[in-house]
Amino acid sequence: MGKRKAFTLIELLVVIAIIALLMSILMPALGRVKKQARTVACLGLLKQWSLYFSMYTQDYDGYFMQGFTAEPQANRWVNAMRAYHKWDPEQTCCPNATKPWTDENGLDTRVEGTFKASTSAWGWTKQGHWEKAIKGSFGINGWSVDPQPGKEPHGQNKEWFWRKVGHPRSAFVPLFLGGLRYNGIPLHTDFPPADDGTRWNDEAQMGRFCMNRHDGFNNCLFMDYSVRKVGLKELWTLKWHKTYIQTGPWTKAGGVLPGDWPDWLKPMKDY
């Protein structure tokens, strides 16, 4: 009688060990590839938003919407551009940030207790005169809008707002980017957030856009409708409003030192 061919127990254990080793090597790489794919998808989505903003401003003689201080609140970008995003959260959410702070019933989803808020979405939110609640993970540069006289956010200087398209150096003016809120009005003196993904940052609204959503970068649509990744420390060097100082205290030109940054930002590239 011929001998039956089969694996011995030792051979089987060796094969399992090799498979486990290969999996331990490949899984992190596959995870990185998947995250990079979501980053590319986010950039593509922002490119789609460049068409939305272009169509909107063409319809309004080059002007942007009035912003979050407008009366009624329907003129915030979320509602003003409803004809384009059609209340579809796949249009308003970065693929790396889809879980909202609250569910559709307004109940807290406790995202800060489960994973970093930098990879979460704002909402579900419903302001006055909005058709429905929506979630999102993009925010507009609050300096780009055209607020009503006397309705400038936080009483800021009315001359600082861009209000419309067609400015010189528009390639350095952020328009729409990954955000922890649907808007923000950064100042060159804003201090960086102590932790990644701090929700509000009312006293330093650069923190609404400074979060580690894309491995040390945020994805940004600029006012010339170009789209690219922006380093987190690079945010302080952009031209947020008309008189924004691009060599402020949190830039290399302004004298910031690597050790001045919060621990979570220290490994990021300096600008």
Query: How many other C-beta atoms are found inside a 10 Å radius of the C-beta of residue 41?
Result: 14
Top pLDDT among 218 and 197 is at 218
Q: Over 60: is that where the pLDDT of 191 sits?
A: yes
What is the reported pLDDT for 187? 97
Q: What is the pTM of this model?
A: 0.88
More confident: 119 or 144: 144
d(C-alpha 71, C-alpha 68), whole Å: 9
Q: What is the pLDDT of residue 159?
A: 96
Q: Where are the domains of the chain?
A: 11-260
Find out whether the peptide bond into 72 is cis, omega within 30 degrees of 0.
yes
Spell out the alpha helix ranges (H) of 8-119: 9-59, 77-80, 82-85, 89-92
Max Cα–Cα distance, the chain, nearest Å? 99
What residue ranges in 75-216 does DSSP mark as E strands? 99-100, 120-125, 134-136, 138-141, 174-178, 183-184
How confident is residue 33, by pLDDT bands cut at 50, 70 and 90? low
Q: Indicate whether 157 pLDDT > 80.
A: yes
Contact 98, 121 (CB under 8 A): yes
Mean pLDDT along residues 105-133: 83
Half-sphere CA count of 133, side-chain side, radius 13 A: 12
Is pLDDT at 59 greater than 60 in this prediction?
yes
- Give the integer Cα–Cα distance in Å for 157 and 89: 33
Q: Looking at residue 35, what is its pLDDT?
A: 77
Q: Among candidates 97, 99, 92, which has minimal Cα distance to 45?
A: 92
